[in-house]
Amino acid sequence: MRAEPGSSVTLPCRPAENKTVRYVAWTRTDLKDGMYAILYRDPHVNPDDTCGSFKNRVNLKDVTNRDASLILTNVTAADTGTYECIVKWEGDQSDSKIISIIGLKVKPDQRTIRVKYGETVTLPCTAPRREELDVAEWSRADLESDQYVILFSGNRVNDDSQSPSFKDRVKLQDVKNGSASLILRMATPEDSGTYECRVVQGGNSCKKRSILDTDLLSIITLIVDQGESDCFWIRTSSSFLVLM
C-alpha cells in the first residue's frame, strides 16, 4: 500500500469469524517487543502501550462490529514499514492470530522550490506530531561527509558540524512543535541543490535499537536564480556611459 505525505490511510483487518473481538494489537516489525501502533483490550484502547510516534494519530475503525482496521492519520515517510494485525476472539482459548500483514510505503515530501537571488526561503519539513524533536538535520549531497546545512541535537544547534557557507544564514522553524523546516536567508546561486531533512522524534525510541535512525521526511530541490545587475545608461555628447 502506498500513501502520500500528510494523508490518512486505512490498513484493513476484518476477521472472518462471527465472534466478539476481545483483543486487537497492531504492531510494526521494526518496533521493540511490547510496543504497538495501537492496543485494544475489550472494552477500550490502552494508550500507555501506544508507541509515542503514533499517539493521537491512530484509531480502530469499528472494533465493536469486528472491523479492526487501523486508521492512521497525517502519515509521513517515518510510517513506512510492515504492519501486523493480531486478534483474539471471545471464548477462544488458543493464542491470538495474525489476521493481516500490510506493507505501507510513504514517500518523503519531495518538491522543487525556486527563488530569486537574495531572498529568504523556507524548505518544509514537519514530523508526524506537534511535539519537540530530539534530532533534526538538513544535509546536501555535495557537502563534506561530516558537515551539515544544520544539525540540531541535545537541545541545541551543533555549530561544529555546520558547513561554513551556511553559518549565520539558517535556522530551524519550530523544533519544539515538531517543525524542522529550514529558513535560509540571503539565498545565492551557490545554495542551489538537493536538500534532505531527517528527524528523530521522541516516539521513534520505540524502534529496535539495531535499526534506530533518523527518518528521511523531505527532499527539496532548491533553485536560486542568478541576480541581475541594474544598469543605467547616460548619454554624453558622443557616447553612452553605463553605470552598474
Q: Is residue 226 predicted with pLDDT exceeding 70?
A: yes
What are the beta bridge partners of residue 170?
184
User: Could you read off the pLDDT of 99-135 as tens digits, one per residue?
Assistant: 999 999 999 999 999 999 999 999 999 888 788 888 9
pLDDT band at 211 (very low <50, low <70, confident <90, very high): low
35, pLDDT greater than 60: yes
CB atoms within 10 A of CB 122: 14
* 162, 151 contact by CB (below 8 A): yes
Sheet hosting strand 133-140, strand order edge to edge: 109-116, 215-225, 193-201, 133-140, 150-153, 156-157
| Antiparallel, parallel or unpaired: β 38-41 and 44-45 | antiparallel
Give pLDDT, residue 183: 98
